[in-house]
Amino acid sequence: MEITVSRLLNLISSIHNLASSFSRGEKRMTSSEFESAVNQTLLADTVSDNTKAVYVSEEGSLAISAVWACVRILSETVGTLPIHLYKRTSNGREKAKGHPCSLLLQKPNSYLTRFALMHHLMISCTLWGNGYARIYRDKFFRPVRLQLLHPYDIEPILTYDDELFYRDKTGLFIPCYDIIHLKGISTDGYKGKSPIAVHRDNLSLSVSAQRYGEKFFNQGGNMSGVFKYPSTLKPEAYKRLKNDLIAQSTGLHNAHTPLLLEGGMTYERISIPPEDAQFIATRKFQKTEIATIYGVPPHMIADLERATNNNIEHQGMEFVQYCLLPYLVRLEEEFNRKLLREDEFEDYYFLFGLNGLLRGDAKTRSEYYKNMNLIGAMSANEIRTLEDMNSYEGGDTYFVQANMQTIENAVLQPVQEPVPVAENNDTNEDDNEKD
């Protein structure tokens, strides 16, 4: 939905008044408080045009419970996942614990943690379609610090030479390799689209239903209607009667309070009852719609109508594979490309740990570990590591199923020649000769 001129003028006027009061010292506030007040001003009056349609901004969408739940689940889940820097070896891989890039993600700067970094990038991406973090480097081109950036403060610019730069709020052009950019669905390849902006009409319906319910219950469940009077009232009497009726019939404190009508006045309802307007069904449908937008299973945002004991586990795995994994791959590729130097691309790579999310219930894990151990694919210590248990001496030995012997013994054991068996015809001839 486009912002009309009237809405734009109203927003400019409100922000101007707020800034004027701030400059006059009428209200002392910090810069962050001022920014918050501006956002509240932008979100307070959501009437955007002459049709009284609801305008939902990115931050204002968090007032919708389903949006809040989806954004929280995605951001906090990614924030809790471990990420490690691995080095390729002849035997597979090993953790590069002493590498500067590995330490950088654990402590991006003096006040950020790994969780806070991933959490902020995901929140920005799920609301605005883009999450940014600037990379600061030392004289050896090693990354030494990461700084989070708000999507409003930075804009990707693609030059005619097909070079990508990022322009910050000061007008500075930052090279592509110095910006960690987590983008959502994109139609141009270098800037993600905000899911809130794309689905603003759907979210407006959710807000409208929410406001309808709020207004209905604030009125104590009293429906609007028409007061009919048998004759014409004088202006003074009309004004007095109108004020009295409003004072008697509106507000939560007047819920279920009988009206006192005078002079043969009658009351007739004209509003549609909530059940006829399918208020509850609309609210449920919008919750499902929002979950679909973000790819989150409905049961994760407290919609348990179609959830069963048999499908919840599979829905959780689908959530990891089809919802979380695309975000994780984007982050891994950004870290690989922009934190590592070119001479390290072949030897090092970042990888999120998903074992905790995909391992299933205790029975499923037990059967899987047992089968992998019997065929010699996993050792006891490898299984214990996946279960966050300490290893023990001798637990690195691999076994095969035949008498549970070691693989080395099974390979070195000599093959025995089969013993020849006499044919039945020869046996019968020998018996005949004896006779």
Confidence at 260, pLDDT banded by 50, 70, 90: low
Please identify which residue in the block is written with the tokens 């590592």.
Answer: 340
Place of tokens 């597979």: 92
Domain layout of the chain by residue ranges: 5-50, 56-218+273-358, 224-270, 366-421
SS3 labels along 66-132? HHHHHHHHHHHHHHHCCEEEEEEECCEEEECCCCHHHHHHHCCCCCCCHHHHHHHHHHHHHHHCEEE
Mean pLDDT of 406-434: 61
Q: What is the pLDDT of residue 247?
A: 66
Q: How far apart are CA 56 and CA 12, in angstroms?
A: 17
- For residue 2, the model assigns a pLDDT of 44
Q: Rounded CA gap, 380 and 310, in Å?
A: 30
pLDDT at 44: 47
For position 48, what pLDDT does the model report?
42
Higher pLDDT: 327 or 363? It is: 327
| 189-242 tens-digit pLDDT | 899 999 999 998 888 877 777 676 666 666 555 556 666 767 766 677 777 777
Question: What is the number of other CB atoms lying within 10 angstroms of the CB of residue 203?
Answer: 27
Lay out the sheet containing 164-168: strands in order across: 154-158, 164-168, 173-175
Report for 55-64, 213-222, 275-284, 336-345: range of highest mean pLDDT: 336-345
pLDDT score, position 382: 85
Task: Please state whether beta strands 225-228 and 348-352 pair in parallel, antiparallel, or not at all (unpaired).
Answer: unpaired
Q: What whole-number percentage of the chain has pLDDT above 70?
A: 62
Candidate from 165-169, 255-259, 262-266, 280-284 with smallest mean pLDDT: 255-259
Mean pLDDT of 241-262: 60
Distance CA 333, CA 327 (A): 10
Whole-number pLDDT of residue 328: 95
**Residue 249, pLDDT above cutoff 80:** no
DSSP state of 224: P
Tell me the range of 38-52, 275-289, 312-326 where mean pLDDT is highest.
312-326
Residue 317 has pLDDT above 90, yes or no: no
Identity of the amino acid at 104 = L
Between 304 and 394, the more confident residue is 394
Burial of 18-45, coded b for 16+ CB within 10 Å and e otherwise, reads beeebeeeeeeeeeeeeeebbeebbbee
Q: What average pLDDT score do residues 68-91 get?
A: 92
Mean pLDDT of 117-126: 96
**What number of other Cβ atoms are within 10 A of residue 141's Cβ?**
9
Strand order in the sheet with 130-137: 143-149, 130-137, 179-183
Contact 45, 55 (CB under 8 A): no
* Token couple for 223: 């429906």
pLDDT score at 227: 65
Report the pLDDT value the prediction gives residue 9, as an integer from 0 to 100: 58
Question: What global pTM score does this model have?
Answer: 0.67
* Burial label, 130 (beta-carbon count in 10 A; 0-12, 13-18, 19+): buried
Q: Does the structure show a pLDDT above 70 at 15?
A: no
pLDDT surpasses 80 at 412: no
Residues 313, 92: contact at Cβ < 8 Å? no
Q: d(Cα 193, Cα 126) in Å, to the nearest integer? A: 10
